Structure 1
Amino acid sequence: MFILKRQDVEISSIQHPKREQQIPILTYQGQTFRLISVFAANQAEEARAFWRDLTDNRGKACVLLEEPDRYSVWGKIRLDQLAAEASSDVKIVPLTQACLLLLQAVYIDVEDLLGNRQAGLFQKDLSDVFRQWHFPSADGAEAVKNLLTMDPLTSLQIPLWEEHHLITLLQELHRLGKEYFGNTHFAQGVNDTLQDMQPAERSQFLEWLNQSPLGKLWR
């Protein structure tokens, strides 16, 4: 739809209707957009590919915001729709559980195949990702350790992440895995990794995954 610069738009936030969180909102020419995903400054190609896939292949009305230190993709939404979408915890919880299972599977592979030292470095890199992209409930080494060891399917303390957090997590997890292993074999067999989930919730996650460019990374 549009590629914009920071001076072209106004960015504000509104209160999440059910959580103590702020939802970022971009305004351009009277239209409102909600944050979908964030990319680092050196990920221009990935950001543009993600934006083009949403606009050209999925028919989404999206803007790509280019800033000196990052790129971000925003999807058009009416503010009266936002409360309904933002409160859809029934949808987001299974997606978060699945993402945590994938995260833990990659971490276990790092620990088993590369050793404790590399596992420690992986935790540090993961902490940096959570800090850089402002993930709720992931601040500090203990919080990260908890995310890597908790049982996402039974825990009552699933982090309250939005969809854009999950997209960013899977993007960054794939990048880290490729750096540590030197290949992308770790990203195969997603269905097997999620075998302990309820079939309906597993199918929901796989459908969500395959409807985005993430489906080309995780399979």
Structure 2
Amino acid sequence: MFILKRQDVEISSIQHPKKDQQVPILNYQGQTFRLITVFKASQEEEARALWRDLTDNRGKACVLLEEPDRFSVWGKVRLDQIEQDTGGHNKNGTYIQGSLLLLQAVYLDIDELLGTRQAGLFEKDIADLLQKEQFPEINSLEAVNHLVTTNPLDLAKLPPWQEKHLIILLQELHKLGKTYFGNANFAHQLTDTLQDMPEPERSLFMTWLNQSSLSTLWQ
């Protein structure tokens, strides 16, 4: 829809009605846009690709904002939509959900493309990793099976993992994925993998991912 510079727009924030966080808001010519995700300055190609996908393929009204040190993508909203927004998890819960969606997507791809036996081996590899790194509440293969076969958005209780656990999980998941598939193409389907997340949570997770040490792995 629009490619804009910082001087073209007004950026502010409003308090989320249900969470202890501020929601970034971009105003342009009387229209309101909400932050979807942020990219580093070196990720211009990825930022433009996401913006084009959202506008051309999904019919969304979006802004690509070019700044000297970063690019960001914003989606059009009404302020009353934000005021009615009722998310169920805090920031860390959203990071856990997003990480589990990536884990589950890799597992399902292995099962579909490589077969049930390979999916079982992958499940065991994940169980060994999580137990070796002493992830809370992971003490059996059954616990891992529950995580890879149950939609994280439907889990009544998320595992009590911290950010350090998620960094380890996604680093090792990327290594395992490359081992099973022979390349890292599986890691470049982030938008499709996270499409079931509500947009505010998806935006929050992708921003965290892009600003972390994982940004070069999952794009």
Q: TM-score, normalised by structure 1?
A: 0.58
1:143 has 2:143 as partner: yes
Q: CA RMSD in A?
A: 1.0
Query: Partner letter of residue 112 of structure 2?
Result: D
Query: Partner letter of residue 105 of structure 1?
Result: A
Shift of 1:149: 1.1
Shift of 1:191: 1.5
The answer for the alignment partner of 1:111 in structure 2 is 111
Structure 2 distance, partners of 1:202, 1:142, is 28
Alignment: residue pair count: 131
* Uncovered stretches (5+) of structure 1, i.e. residues with no partner: 1-88
Structure 1 distance, partners of 2:97, 2:127, is 19
The answer for the alignment partner of 1:60 in structure 2 is none
Query: Partner letter of residue 189 of structure 1?
Result: Q
The answer for the alignment partner of 1:93 in structure 2 is 93
Shift of 1:212: 1.3
What pairs with 1:155-166 in structure 2 (closer than 5 Å)? Answer: 155-166=155-166
The answer for the alignment partner of 1:172 in structure 2 is 172
| Identity fraction in percent | 54
After superposing on structure 2, the runs of 4+ consecutive aligned residues of structure 1 that deviate more than 4 Å are none
* Uncovered stretches (5+) of structure 2, i.e. residues with no partner: 1-88
Bigger RCO of structures 1 and 2 (CA < 8 A, at least 6 apart): 2
The answer for the alignment partner of 1:121 in structure 2 is 121
What pairs with 1:12-161 in structure 2 (closer than 5 Å)? Answer: 90-161=90-161
Structure 1 distance, partners of 2:127, 2:152, is 18
After superposition, give the CA deviation of every residue in 1:107-150 in whole Å (9 maximum; x if it has no partner). 00111111111111101101110011101122111100000111
Shift of 1:152: 1.0
Shift of 1:154: 2.1
